[in-house]
Amino acid sequence: MEGWAQDQKVAGSMVTFLADTRSELTKALDMVLDADEVMAVLGNPRCKRFAMVVDDGVIKAISVAEGDVPDEATFAEAMLEKC
């Protein structure tokens, strides 16, 4: 995750990248992507595209890219507007 943060030029900023290798958070947030073909290839549940603003452990805003909500709603710029 550190490499991704560096690549995105946010290392050391207020943005935190978290790994969910066992899909525990994905399942707890009900964000499992319903895509059997993806699971068949990758072998484990995948996560929907989403972004959250979390302050001291409290979810302040969440945006999920699905339906009428475009991917751009989960981009850092859009989420920072919710801070």
Query: How much is the pTM?
Result: 0.73
Q: Tell me the C-alpha distance between 54 and 71, whole Å.
A: 19
Domain positions in the chain: 1-48, 49-83
Divide the 83 residues of the chain into consecutive groups of 10 and give the mean pLDDT of each group.
87 85 91 75 82 92 95 93 89
pLDDT of residue 39: 64
pLDDT of residue 40: 63
pLDDT of residue 27: 92
**Got the DSSP string for 27-81?**
HHTT-B---HHHHHHHSS--BPPEEEEEETTEEEEEEE-STT--GGGGSHHHHHT
pLDDT of residue 38: 64
